[in-house]
Amino acid sequence: MKYTRKSRNAIGSENDTTFVSRLLGKFNSWRLSFSIDGQAIAKGVIIAVFIVLFSITQTTLLSRLRPFGAVPDLLLPLVVAVAMSEKEKWGAVVGLISAFVIDALGGVTVMLLPLLYVPVGIFCGLLTTYRFRDSIPVAALFTAVTCVLRFFVSFLLALFTVHGATPLQALLDFALPGLYANLIFAVFPHLFVRLAMRPFHKTRAERTEENDRVF
Amino acid sequence: MSGFFKSKFFYIVAVLTLIAVIVPTVLCSMGLTPVLRSAVNTVLMPVQKLSDKAAGAIEGFTSYFTAFDRLKEENVRLKKEIASLREEVAGAREIKEKYDWMSDFLELKMLHHDYKLVPAVISGRGSANYSNVFMLDAGKLSGIQRGMPVVSGDGILGYIAEVGPTWSKAVSVMEASSSVGAYVERSGAIGVVEAEYDLSLEGILKMSYLDEDADIKVGDRILTSGYGSVYPRSLVIGYVETVKTDDLTRSITATVRPASTLDQVSKVMVVTKYEVYAEEP
């Protein structure tokens, strides 16, 4: 019996006729302007790993250590980092999934985080695409703004869900410590995402070379 | 930018976001668990559990550093608490001591209705290591006179040798010059308990002048006989430790361990008045 090696085609390429590629072709035909190809799947897997890693870290290690007296939110800066790196659509999807996962693992009963994470993902992505450049100062600015938004959400949640908490207690015991912790720990998701997504993006030298060729 | 908000993608995400907020919230408020949420938890639970164990170990290590301030505060608070408890214990000890003394006092008073007792505190002891003298904080003004016996709840201690208005000096039974008329409680055998220099170094008294056929055994309790001018009858002197018969004279001598010693007491009683009984032991 003679075995012959079959040639493999890239997922989503014209010659690819496997079940998965047909499924992806169908998805892409919905005209969501969100095509899924091999690179997108690789990115998705990496980001999914990050979501699991950070949500688990947040609900185990950091919830025990409680730096500054609060559990830092690692998934919000992750959403910002992904949105800046992969633009608004990825930001929206990652925001939705992250909010759902962290709400599920965190065991909260009032789930409001999708209302924060998804807009953050969308706006950070859109602003990076149309207004700002993907740079460290912009990332710091976006993170700071989202942490302040998270501060208000934490304040409101503490005020309405913690029995007997006064506005001052909600501010001093929950919201402010959360703000400090979020600002400090936001560095890690940004760092991880930037390092992991680097292979998928063209370097500055490559971009300059491409521009030179065009002109 | 506005094109994005008109896209099909945006509408789908917006709807999913609302579903992700409303459905689980409503179901949770009804006590139900959404399937997707349950699936997420089921899949991630083993990882979370493992991570939590690792986090526990890390927390144990880091708590040494992170909990330093808290532990420092706790240490200060506990030190204060210990000081306060020590004070309380000292107070309680003082009360117990007082209670014990009062109890002895009461016991002695119940045994000897005829005794008139004056309490006193030992305020000083002999300045020389060979001296068996001790000072009391009560004197003539309390009705104490020279020659009165000094006792504790356990037995006799000595007698008053010198008296001042508010103080008195007593000589212990261990003083070599003192002797006490005594008898064996069990058999009634009479003798004299006295202190000898060699024995007093060991804190032991000697009982002599016992009859040849005196019935005395180790462990017998020796009481004052009341003969003499100092001690009333039936006060405890001590317990027989050894009994020895002289081969030549056939006389019997015994060593007696005093029931009460100066180093065990701080409060004593002076018997200022007692009935003298005519009957013999």
Strand partners, B208: B192
Q: Which residue of A has its CA nearest to B28?
A: A109
- Inter-chain CB proximity A114 and B58 less than 8 Å: no
Buried b vs exposed e over B207-246: b needs ≥16 C-beta within 10 Å? bebbeeebebeeebbbbbbbbeebbbbebbbbbbeebeee
Highest-confidence range of A96-105, A195-204, B236-245, by mean pLDDT? B236-245
Kindly state the tokens that stand for B236: 């405890």
Each residue's pLDDT tens digit, B3-40: 778 788 888 889 988 888 888 888 877 777 777 777 88
Which residues of chain B are within 8 Å of residue A122 when distances are taken between CB atoms?
4, 10, 13
How high is the pLDDT of residue A93? 92
Name which of A12-21, A190-199, B67-76 the model is least confident about: A12-21
Which residues of chain A are within 8 Å of residue B28 when distances are taken between CB atoms?
109-111
To 5 degrees, how large is the angle CA B256–CA B257–CA B262? 130
pLDDT band at B281 (very low <50, low <70, confident <90, very high): very low
One-character DSSP codes across A118-184: HHHHHHHHHHHHHT--S-HHHHHHHHHHHHHHHHHHHHHHHHHHSTT--HHHIIIIIIHHHHHHHHH
Residue among A105, A92, A95, A15 at smallest CA distance from A52: A105
Chain A nearest CA to B30, separation (Å): 10
Each residue's pLDDT tens digit, A43-75: 899 999 999 999 888 888 887 778 878 888 899
How high is the pLDDT of residue A163? 65
CA B2/CA A69 separation, integer angstroms: 41
Considering chain B, what percentage of its residues have pLDDT values greater than 70?
92
Put residue B209 in one of left, alpha, beta given phi > 0 → left and psi -120 to 50 → alpha: left
Q: Which residue of A has its CA nearest to B67?
A: A65
Each residue's pLDDT tens digit, A150-166: 899 888 888 877 666 78
Residue whose entry in the numeric block shows the structure tokens 């204060």: B80
Q: What is the mean pLDDT of residues B195-217?
A: 84
pLDDT at B69 over 80: no
Which residues of chain A are within 8 Å of residue B55 when distances are taken between CB atoms?
60-61, 64-65
3-class secondary structure, B173: coil
Chain A nearest CA to B79, separation (Å): 26
Which residues of chain B are within 8 Å of residue A88 when distances are taken between CB atoms?
4
Which residues of chain A are within 8 Å of residue B59 when distances are taken between CB atoms?
61, 64-65
Q: Which residue of A has its CA nearest to B14?
A: A118
Put residue B175 in one of left, alpha, beta given phi > 0 → left and psi -120 to 50 → alpha: beta
Give the global pTM: 0.53
Smallest Cβ–Cβ distance between B47 and the set A52, A61, A64 belongs to A52
pLDDT band at B176 (very low <50, low <70, confident <90, very high): low
- Inter-chain CB proximity B37 and A52 less than 8 Å: no
- Inter-chain CB proximity B20 and A100 less than 8 Å: yes
Each residue's pLDDT tens digit, A137-146: 999 999 999 9
3-class secondary structure, B240: strand
- Inter-chain CB proximity B59 and A64 less than 8 Å: yes
Highest-confidence range of A156-165, A199-208, B201-210, by mean pLDDT? B201-210
